[in-house]
């Protein structure tokens, strides 16, 4: 069983880092571009509303996104940035009724998304006992990142978000190294590796460094990924059937949603088993 302690008192609540589409002005459907591919049925420019978007900011094909060729939409996660920009940064003024806000809103949204993703990782780090020697630094980084999210539109536009992400990433790497050092055995370092379509069935990847690895369509059936660092790993169409992801570091819901799994896949308690995976069977519930 995977046990993840609650975040320390006063830290960012992970519930605030989950998308609440009903409180957002469909920013991901407008601000971001996409190209016709296996993930999207047609091209869309940044700042242009998706043709499936309705006047009430709801998706007209939401219940049939995969069927209609929009699997890319089903795996996107803003980490709660959409509602933060919509309700806090722009105080509930939507881009339809207040078109003068549109340009700023669409520029600010991607910046906020990066900040909220960092908050997710930093909050997770503070639940890890092995990272306790770094908790002071992690807490300071979390509070600084959270402070940046409260900036106004002009401050967010001018923010060097790449520099901030690089600074936090270094701290997250140190966290990863400390936590993975507690995993028994020799750990594989496949950071940034091209593992597209790799045959890794039953592989022992406990405590492995898979940061940024390309695992697209990889066969990870029954692989042991417990304690592995998966930050930034591309798991699109990877087969995680029967795989053990217990205690995997920095795994996100979007990564799980992009992969394939089954009732026997063991996922961390902070994440949900994707709806398109097979239904759980007795004895194979989500880990908690």
Whether residues 173 and 211 share a domain: the answer is no
Domain count for the chain, please give it: 2
What are the φ/ψ torsions at residue 189 (nearest 5 degrees)? -110, 100
Whether residues 157 and 210 share a domain: the answer is no
3-class DSSP state of 59: strand
Say how far apart CA 37 and CA 70 lie, in whole Å.
9
The answer to whether residue 2 sits within a structural domain is: no
pLDDT per residue as tens, the chain (288 positions): 333 444 444 456 677 898 999 999 999 999 999 999 988 999 999 999 999 999 999 999 988 988 899 988 988 899 999 999 999 999 999 999 999 999 999 999 999 999 999 999 999 999 999 999 999 999 999 999 999 999 999 999 999 999 999 999 999 999 999 999 999 999 999 999 999 999 999 999 999 999 999 999 999 999 999 999 999 999 999 999 999 999 999 999 999 999 999 999 999 988 999 988 865 444 444 443
Say how far apart CA 137 and CA 79 lie, in whole Å.
22
Indicate which CATH number applies to the domain containing 220.
2.160.20.80
Q: Tokens 């923010």: give the residue.
A: 159
Residues 266/244, Cβ–Cβ less than 8 Å: yes
3-class DSSP state of 229: strand
Say how far apart CA 81 and CA 26 lie, in whole Å.
11
Q: Identify the CA nearest to 68 among candidates 56, 60, 79, 58.
A: 60
- Which of 156, 180, 204 terminates a domain? The answer is 180
Whether residues 33 and 175 share a domain: the answer is yes
Report pTM: 0.88
Name the DSSP letter for residue 119: H
CA dihedral 64, 65, 67, 68 (to 10 degrees): 110
Whether residues 156 and 37 share a domain: the answer is yes
Whether residues 268 and 164 share a domain: the answer is no
Residues 254/9, Cβ–Cβ less than 8 Å: no
The answer to whether residue 10 sits within a structural domain is: no
Name the DSSP letter for residue 24: S
The answer to whether residue 1 sits within a structural domain is: no
Whether residues 288 and 258 share a domain: the answer is yes
Question: How many angstroms separate the Cα of 200 from the Cα of each of 56, 108, 195, 220?
Answer: 45, 40, 9, 5
Question: How many angstroms separate the Cα of 218 from the Cα of each of 89, 154, 233, 255, 260?
Answer: 40, 42, 12, 13, 10
Whether residues 132 and 59 share a domain: the answer is yes
Structure tokens at 277: 């995976």
Q: Tokens 């940061």: give the residue.
A: 211
- What would the DSSP string read from start to end of 134-149? GHHHHHHHHHHHHHHH
pLDDT of residue 118: 97
3-class DSSP state of 189: strand
- Which of 157, 180, 203 terminates a domain? The answer is 180
Can you give the residue range of the structural domain that contains 242? 186-288
């Amino acid at each position: 069983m995977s046990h993840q302690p609650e975040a320390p008192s006063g830290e960012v609540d992970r519930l605030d880092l989950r998308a609440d589409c009903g409180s957002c002005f469909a920013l991901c459907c407008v601000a971001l571009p996409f190209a016709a591919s296996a993930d999207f049925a047609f091209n869309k420019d940044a700042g242009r509303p998706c043709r499936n978007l309705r006047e009430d900011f709801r998706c007209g094909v939401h219940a049939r996104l995969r069927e209609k060729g929009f699997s890319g939409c089903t795996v996107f996660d803003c980490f709660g940035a959409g509602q933060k920009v919509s309700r806090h940064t722009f105080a509930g003024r939507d881009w339809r009724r207040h078109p003068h806000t549109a340009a700023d809103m669409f520029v600010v949204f991607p910046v906020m998304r990066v900040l909220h993703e960092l908050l997710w990782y930093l909050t997770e780090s503070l639940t890890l006992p092995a990272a306790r020697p770094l908790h002071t630094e992690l807490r300071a980084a979390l509070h600084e990142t959270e402070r940046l999210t409260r900036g106004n539109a002009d401050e967010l536009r001018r923010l060097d978000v790449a520099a901030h992400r690089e600074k936090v990433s270094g701290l997250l790497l140190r966290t990863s190294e400390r936590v993975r050092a507690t995993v028994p055995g020799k750990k594989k370092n496949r950071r940034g590796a091209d593992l597209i379509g790799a045959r890794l069935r039953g592989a022992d990847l406990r405590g492995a460094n898979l940061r940024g690895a390309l695992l697209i369509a990889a066969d990870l059936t029954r692989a042991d990924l417990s304690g592995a660092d998966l930050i930034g790993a591309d798991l699109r169409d990877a087969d995680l059937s029967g795989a053990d992801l217990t205690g995997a570091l920095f795994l996100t819901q979007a990564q799980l949603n992009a992969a394939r799994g089954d009732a026997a896949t063991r996922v961390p308690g902070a994440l949900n088993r994707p709806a398109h995976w097979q239904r759980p069977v007795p004895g194979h519930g989500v880990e908690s």
